[in-house]
Amino acid sequence: MLLTGTVIRAYGGHYFVMAEGGVYDCALRGRFRFEQERVMVGDRVGFRVLAPGQGVIEELYPRQTSLLRPPVANVDRALVVFAVRDPDPSTLLLDKILVQAEHAGVEPVICFNKTDLGAGEAEGIILAYRRAGYPVVCTSVKEGTGLEELRGMLKGHITVLAGPSGAGKSSLLNALVPGLNLKTGEISRKLGRGRHTTRHVELLLLPDGGLVADTPGFSSLYLPGMRREELGGFFREFEDYRAGCRFTGCLHDQEPGCAVKEAVKEGKIAAFRHENYLQLLRDVIEQERRY
């Protein structure tokens, strides 16, 4: 009889599968060595128990998502962490990561961290993303605020992290996973090309249920390949107005009769979001020309 579980880490030919009854150290059935599709962390697999705590993987079940950075399957949530201050949040970088996440079929949760420093100018940014329809949580590891709300958002999901250095990702993971004790900055260093790389991603079990990757989930250096007409679909608040644009396939740039631009003028869409969209649109068009 096959048991079903989730691969939580893999190295040296060992695949550690979390299932009812504990974690099993599994090998791969021989046929997997000759197939192109490899077993990844996050995969749902069927395995047979050979001895206490040991087994062999015999089935690989269909994936919902598959990421390359880090290599992990079935991620359905991205925790996008930015500090309210020190460093100040870059909305252009945040919007780029949101586009990456949604393009990959992953639901983003925005976490504005370090609220003990005072939100300041970030208050307007936080409000704008909430109005746009994104799940937003504000946290302070130092004061312990927002952590229960964040745990609730991650419960039952497989989550990866994203965000700039200094935003507090290590501190958040330490707070979410008791006993982890990552040093500050350790997560960012794992992105290097030395031997500590995201190839060794591990899924950590959250106390209330759910799994979180111990490395950031998305590179901030690229935009996924897409046509210029697709980009607007990744800006959630545009959706309510796109049907009112005069032209089908409106890019919300220079076209007359653009309902999105009119919504920006009326304050219904945050001006910085539209400005960031236009910057990313230039990047997408440049990618189109190169390829």
Q: Based on the fold, state whether residues 212 and 113 are members of the same structural domain.
A: yes
Domain edge (last residue) among 33, 60, 87: 60
Which single residue is written with the structure tokens 């599968």?
A: 17
> pLDDT tens digit string along 210-252?
999 877 666 656 788 899 999 999 999 999 999 999 999 999 9
Q: Based on the fold, state whether residues 56 and 169 are members of the same structural domain.
A: no
Q: Measuring CA to CA, how many Å separate 143 from each of 46, 118, 155?
A: 43, 12, 22
Q: Based on the fold, state whether residues 138 and 276 are members of the same structural domain.
A: no
Q: Based on the fold, state whether residues 119 and 193 are members of the same structural domain.
A: yes
Given pLDDT bands bounded at 50, 70 and 90, which one contains residue 178? confident
Domain that holds residue 53: 3-60
> pLDDT tens digit string along 264-286?
999 999 999 999 999 999 999 99
**Distant-in-sequence contacts of 117-124, Cβ < 8 A, 24+ apart:** 117/83, 117/84, 117/85, 117/86, 118/84, 118/85, 119/84, 119/85, 120/84, 120/85, 121/88, 122/84, 122/85, 122/88, 122/89
Angle between helices 271-290 and 122-132 (to 10 degrees): 70
Distance CA 286, CA 291 (A): 9
pLDDT at 68: 80
Residue 77 pLDDT > 80: yes
Q: Based on the fold, state whether residues 45 and 185 are members of the same structural domain.
A: no
Q: Based on the fold, state whether residues 113 and 135 are members of the same structural domain.
A: yes
Over residues 157-183, mean pLDDT: 88
Residue % of the chain over a pLDDT of 70: 90
Q: Would you call 41 helix, strand, or coil by DSSP?
A: strand
Number of domains forming the structure of the chain = 3
Q: Based on the fold, state whether residues 70 and 34 are members of the same structural domain.
A: no
- What are the tokens at 49? 């128990």
pLDDT at 259: 98
Residue 52 pLDDT > 60: yes
How many CA atoms within 13 Å lie on the side-chain side of 156?
2
The reply to whether 222 falls in a domain is no
pLDDT at 189: 43
Query: Domain containing 9 — which CATH number?
Result: 2.40.50.140
Cis before 87 (ω within 30): yes
> pLDDT tens digit string along 125-165?
999 999 999 999 999 999 999 999 999 999 999 999 999 98
Distance CA 248, CA 229 (A): 10
The reply to whether 223 falls in a domain is no
The reply to whether 177 falls in a domain is yes
Question: Which DSSP string do the residues of 63-106 spell out, in sequence order?
Answer: PS-EEETTEEES--EEEEEEESSSSPP-HHHHHHHHHHHHHTT-
The reply to whether 221 falls in a domain is no
Q: Based on the fold, state whether residues 182 and 137 are members of the same structural domain.
A: yes
- pTM, whole model, 2 decimals? 0.88
Residue 253 pLDDT > 90: yes
Query: Domain containing 277 — which CATH number?
Result: 1.10.40.50
Residue 187 pLDDT > 70: no
Over residues 188-208, mean pLDDT: 60
Q: Based on the fold, state whether residues 98 and 51 are members of the same structural domain.
A: no
